[in-house]
Structure 1
């Protein structure tokens, strides 16, 4: 049995492939090694893995995670996986590579993540050939849920948000300005805190279409201006994207992409199903 995982900063989607080839899906929280250490990941996994999962019987773990971009960060996650899946061969990769494999398979192209955070790259059909660093939630992550969430929080705190939406925001979260500052500066996982408010905007988008469009369009325009247009010959590629933000606001994303003369390819919420298919096809090729 093997297990394949796509780990974002907020949530990890897992798929167990048993000996009969049956797929069993489950979720845990996300484990970004920039915010979570090995001990935290081990404790969380032991609490949240399903009871029916016989961790000691797994022979392979293929984990693709947000933040797993350097050997040091991969080691934080890999050490945790080794403590939980004690008999498995552990493979740790970047979530951006997972997105490439899910979106493009063995074909070259452009791939992006627009979820809690942002990432993008050119893919040569095997590996990432060029990546412009999005610089994380503090300095960049344009187009992400965190980027949108920060704009929403700023508008709420400054009183720029439409009155009815501002009232709904307080009814849902009951946050004062002091509460928000406390979450951002003093509590763990501020990126996840900010990103959560992009869902609030999506839930109320039909009642506040103009505000939703202007907020999200601003974020996606920043994504293109600061990242996409700096890839060589970017107009020659289609925009392929995974992530809840890109998927939920794909109509606005398509409008912005068209403005920059970039065609739209595959936009999916989660890469896990396509990623599992990629590994199944790879296994078949090796077996030949």
Structure 2
């Protein structure tokens, strides 16, 4: 059997297949990032979640795609945990960026981007990443990400630049005020995730002109910083993945038209595309 995993910041989607890549079962766990997850925590998660009816010693290959897995030194303890749990398996660990590219573009070359709480993009040659955009995180960069859009929205709200009706609606739904927002951003952990959560309200009210323009402005910044930086971008396939990309698909399509790129490819769940890539290539 083969085991595939696609791990984001909040959850990991696991799929077990037979040797012909037919799906046998699926399960989900918490997000597993080597920067924040210890070897012991990973082993405990696998012990609790791995299907009891299946024997982990019968897993012959593991393909783990995850955030924080672009540099081998960072995920060495993950490899050790996987070897302990899947004693007979060949362990393959890749970045979530490569997973998104393989899932959406398969063996074609093109540009791939992930838009979620953060943002990243790359040029992919049909097998591997050949060029990455410079990603500076939510404080200095991440234009077009959930955290970036949420930061702009919070700024408009606190500076009383939002339409009063929209501002009142946001307060009634969330109870957020200047004190709660500044405390969450400057004192609490994970302010980027906190800010990105404002995108739920924005999505529900996207027909409001002010919110539409805010998201359009953010995606224009995203294209300038993460898409048009690649040579001959107009003629390359373009795939956009991640929760934010799927939520604001219509605005991204219009933005792509303005920048004269190819029409974006969107995928809801990368894991199935990843499995298809390995079926095609038999890697």
What TM-score does the superposition give when structure 2 sets the normalisation length? 0.87
Q: Which residue of 1 aligns with 2:109?
A: 108
Tell me how far apart the structure 2 counterparts of residues 186 and 87 of structure 1 sit (CA, whole Å): 45
Gap change, CA 1:39 and 1:77, over 3 Å in 2: closer
Do the aligned partners of 2:32 and 2:42 also contact (CA within 8 Å) in 1?
Answer: no
Query: Which stretch shows the higher mean deviation, 62-71 or 197-206?
Result: 197-206
User: C-alpha distance in 1, partners of 2:48/2:204?
Assistant: 28
Label 1:76 to 1:226 Cα distance change in 2 as closer, same or farther (>3 A): farther
Match of 2:255 in 1: 256
Task: Assess if the C-alpha contact under 8 Å between 1:244 and 1:270 holds in 2.
Answer: no
Are positions 1:182 and 2:183 aligned together?
Answer: yes
1:120 paired to 2:121: yes
| Secondary structure of the structure 1 residue equivalent to 2:252 | helix
Alignment match, 1:212: 211
Rounded to whole Å, the distance in 2 between the matches of 1:85 and 1:182 is 43
Paired residues, what number? 281
Alignment of 1:54-203 (within 5 A): 54=54, 56-57=56-57, 58-82=59-83, 84-85=85-86, 87-203=88-204
Structure 1 residue 53 displacement after superposition: 6.7
Q: Give the structure-1-normalised TM-score.
A: 0.85
Question: Structure 1 CA distance, aligned partners of 2:55 and 2:250?
Answer: 41
The answer (yes or no) to whether the contact 1:10–1:116 under 8 Å persists in 2 is: no
Q: State the shift of 1:107 in Å.
A: 1.2
In 2, the alpha carbon distance for the partners of 1:182 and 1:16 equals: 43
Change over 3 Å in CA distance of 1:22–1:126 after alignment to 2: closer
Task: Measure, in 2, the Cα distance between the counterparts of 1:229 and 1:254.
Answer: 15
User: Alpha carbons of 1:52 and 1:204: their partners in 2 closer, same or farther (altered >3 Å)?
Assistant: farther
Q: Contact 2:238–2:262 (CA<8 Å) still a contact in 1?
A: yes
Q: Which residue of 2 aligns with 1:15?
A: 15
CA deviations 1:95-137 (Å, max 9, x no partner) are 1111111111111111111122211111111111111122222
Q: Contact 1:134–1:142 (CA<8 Å) still a contact in 2?
A: no
Q: Deviations over 1:36-75 (max 9, x none)?
A: 1325852772587265474733333211112222122232
Task: List alignment gaps of at least 5 residues for structure 2.
Answer: none
C-alpha RMSD of matched pairs (Å): 2.6
How far apart are residue 229 of structure 1 and its match?
Answer: 1.6
Give the Cα–Cα distance (whole angstroms) in 2 for the partners of residues 2 and 85 of structure 1: 11
Higher mean displacement: 69-78 or 273-282? 69-78
3-state SS of paired residue (2:228): helix
- Contact 1:2 / 1:18 at 8 angstroms: preserved in 2? yes
Quickly say closer, same or farther: Cα 1:15–1:166, change in 2 above 3 A.
farther
- Secondary structure at the aligned position of 2:91 is classed as strand
